[in-house]
Amino acid sequence: MNNFDSRVVVVTGGSRDIGRSIALKFSGEKPRIIIVHYDPDEADSEKTLNELSLRGVQAFSHRIDVSSFDAMDRLFGDIISEFGRIDVLINNAGITRDKLLMRMSEEDWDRVIGINLQGVFNCTKAAIRSMIRQKKGNIVNISSVVGQMGNAGQSNYCASKAGIMGFTKSIAREVAGRGINVNAVAPGFIDTGMTAVLPENVKEKFMQQIPLGRLGRPEDIAEAVYWLCSDAAGYITGQIIHVNGGLYM
Ligand code: NAD
């Protein structure tokens, strides 16, 4: 049993798929959960809030772009004013804009780096003040297997996810003495909206490379994230935990 009772958990990209699964995984111990998303509408976030509410969790949703430094600074400031603390930050918001370099625009590059990497910086910087004051906290950043392997057509995405790995290790070193653990989870090929749009032949090619013989589920990622934030993982910081069915070893 972990001590999440009445703690404050923030999950970016928490409206659906991996982020929703992470939020639901934390729900068992009734923390207060704040999800941040940037969907065009509130349909998915409302579904997540409803599921959390059915489990008796006080949950809130904000539709705000994580790539805006000022907006994140304000949001986390408001969360700290309202709840007095932030115990867990899961930096999960992310997008793809896949193109070969020859066709990739500066906007494709900037948007992916802005959300996937700058967004992690923005939220971490805004949340860490509270964690330092509390002398306790957990941050888990969602990277990707391709941040390590590379992937043709995803140079912007892979650069952002590799950047997350370096950022994670650096911040882990900076705040280890303050009782804050900072880790990353690098998912493999997970069955979500992000991968549903890929052509069948691309999915088939990935499948052939996965020793465990199946796509990952959002719950596979949520399990690892939750464990990293538990007392059981208290001696783990600065690590990249791969959850990929053996796709990359
Ligand atoms: P998804 O597209 O289903 O959900 C993405 C979430 O991020 C949504 O809640 C969306 O609103 C939010 N988001 C997007 N842009 C945002 C912005 N500007 N500001 C705030 N929120 C924003 O994606 P998913 O498959 O659940 O992926 C979640 C994370 O896992 C991402 O970081 C992704 O890169 C990573 N990941 C996914 C896979 C996979 O196979 N699905 C593999 C490796 C890593």
> Mean pLDDT for each 10-residue chunk of the chain (249 residues)?
71 98 95 98 98 97 98 98 97 98 98 99 98 98 98 97 99 98 98 89 90 96 98 98 97
Q: What's the confidence (pLDDT) of residue 173?
A: 98
Is the Cβ atom of 193 under 6 angstroms away from ligand 1? yes
Q: Alpha-carbon distance 28 to 215, whole Å?
A: 26
Q: How far is the CA of 209 from the centre of ligand 1 (A)?
A: 23
Is the Cβ atom of 195 under 6 angstroms away from ligand 1? yes
Q: How far is the CA of 174 from the centre of ligand 1 (A)?
A: 27
Site to substitute for ligand 1 among 70, 76, 95, 111, most atoms within 8 A of C-beta? 95
Rg over CA atoms, the chain: 17
> Active-site residue 157, yes or no?
yes
Architecture of domain 8-242: 3-Layer(aba) Sandwich (3.40)
Residue whose CA is at the smallest distance from ligand 1 atom 29:
92
Q: How far is the CA of 194 from the centre of ligand 1 (A)?
A: 7
Residue whose CA is at the smallest distance from ligand 1 atom 39:
190
Q: What's the confidence (pLDDT) of residue 203?
A: 87
Q: Which atom belonging to ligand 1 lies closest to the Cα atom of 145?
A: 43
The residue annotated as part of the active site, out of 157, 226, 235, 248, is 157
- Among the listed residues 17, 19, 15, the one whose alpha carbon sits nearest the alpha carbon of residue 44: 15
Site to substitute for ligand 1 among 24, 63, 92, most atoms within 8 A of C-beta? 92
Q: What's the confidence (pLDDT) of residue 1?
A: 40
Q: What's the confidence (pLDDT) of residue 4?
A: 52
Which residue has tokens 């970016």? 12
Site to substitute for ligand 1 among 10, 12, 18, 61, most atoms within 8 A of C-beta? 18
Q: What's the confidence (pLDDT) of residue 199?
A: 86
Q: Alpha-carbon distance 122 to 106, whole Å?
A: 21
Is the Cβ atom of 245 under 6 angstroms away from ligand 1? no
Q: How far is the CA of 91 from the centre of ligand 1 (A)?
A: 10
In sequence order, the β-bridge partners of residue 138 are 88, 181
Residues near 23 by Cβ (< 8 Å), separated by ≥ 6?
Answer: 9, 11, 14, 33, 35, 48, 52, 59
Cβ burial 210-230 (10 Å sphere, 16+ → b, else e): beeeebbebebbbbbbbbbbe
